[in-house]
Structure 1
Amino acid sequence: MKRILPLLLFPLVFIACQKPKAFDYRDVKNVKLETLGFDQTALTMDLVYYNPNGFGVDLRKVDCDIYIDNHYLGKFKLDTLMHIQRRSEFVLPSRIMVDMKGVYKNAFTLLFSKEVLINVKGTTRVGKAGIFANIPFSYEARHKLDLF
């Protein structure tokens, strides 16, 4: 019996120690202009994601760069502890600092574009039971741009 017990526990330990999968982006809601400036502008929004993992995880940190039509738009950072249930959608309240120099350079193109390519590249720090790992993620998709 003593030899069988470790063999029975091994699959449970293996499953519990799986590396978390990256979150799936679902939607963006409640986009608001917080502050407007010549150098930087702050946008707030709620980003909706899905946790595809079969277990709950703790989100500790997000650090990513955002690009529109392959031009740098700004940086997003989040440094907080948030528990995310298994296989569920969750909302990530976000504040993005937009580099207005990049917006000014591409304003004419953005004004007449019906679609833009949005790229987000970065890392999240997620974990379970106090053990955290950096998980890289990348998102790229075309989105309609309705300015008028």
Structure 2
Amino acid sequence: MSIKIHVSLYPIFILGVLLASCSKPRPVSFAGYRNIRFSNEGFSTGVIQMEVAFYNPNPYPMKIKETDLKVLVNRQPFGEITQDSLSLMPAKDTFLMPVSVKVNLIDLIQKAINLSGNDSVMLEANGSCKIGKSGVFFKMPLHYQSKEVLKIF
């Protein structure tokens, strides 16, 4: 009779372990950017490329894919970040992810003229990405807002 009790408790134990190991991960946080480069994709479209640093607060490594963000400068649309490649996020560590921001060159010139007297801008990025582990991915919202000081000279 005790064997039946152990056998019936085994699935409950396995289910408990699976639920504990599949807890929802904490969102990654923006940690900075570097290596900004600019290139043209024609007469009206430009691409700003950079490496963006994120911090993974989770105690396990994960993967990030399908990033889609709208970038705003001073609350005005600036460009879009789309990333389809798969990147590894180490556990409790900062990682770099190469991104490209497509921008309209005419809008970029107009915004640069409007910013000529300012020493800082409000930078925002809103959107989502898919993060996961062991082939299971889910959509996670991403939001960033910061006042950035312009260092022109």
Point out the structure with max Rg over C-alpha.
2
CA distance in 2, matches of 1:29, 1:106: 21
- The CA deviation at 1:66 is 0.4
1:44 aligns with one of 49, 55, 67: 49
1:33 aligns with one of 30, 38, 53: 38
- The CA deviation at 1:40 is 1.6
Q: How many residues align?
A: 148
CA distance in 1, matches of 2:144, 2:31: 11
1:96 aligns with one of 95, 101, 124: 101
- The CA deviation at 1:136 is 1.0
Amino acid aligned to 1:30: N
| TM-score calculated relative to the size of structure 2 | 0.86
Give me the identity figure in percent: 21
1:11–1:85 distance in 2 versus 1, CA, 3 Å:
farther
Q: Which stretches in structure 1 are left out of the alignment for 5+ residues?
A: none
The answer to whether the aligner puts 1:132 opposite 2:137 as a matched pair is yes
The answer to whether the aligner puts 1:53 opposite 2:76 as a matched pair is no
Amino acid aligned to 1:34: S
| TM-score calculated relative to the size of structure 1 | 0.89
Contact 2:29 2:55 in 1 (8 A): yes
Q: Which stretches in structure 2 are left out of the alignment for 5+ residues?
A: 1-5
Amino acid aligned to 2:31: R
Alpha-carbon displacement from aligned partner over 1:65-85 (angstroms, at most 9, x marks no partner)? 101001111111110122222
1:53 aligns to what SS in structure 2? coil
**Which residue matches 2:3?**
none
Alpha-carbon displacement from aligned partner over 1:42-81 (angstroms, at most 9, x marks no partner)? 1111111111122221112101110100111111111012
1:99–1:21 distance in 2 versus 1, CA, 3 Å:
farther
**Which residue matches 2:152?**
147
The answer to whether the aligner puts 1:108 opposite 2:113 as a matched pair is yes
CA distance in 1, matches of 2:24, 2:47: 34
Alpha-carbon displacement from aligned partner over 1:67-124 (angstroms, at most 9, x marks no partner)? 1001111111110122222111110011211122332332233121111100100110
2:18 aligns to what SS in structure 1? helix
2:116 aligns to what SS in structure 1? helix
Contact 1:71 1:102 in 2 (8 A): no
**Which residue matches 1:69?**
74
2:32 aligns to what SS in structure 1? strand
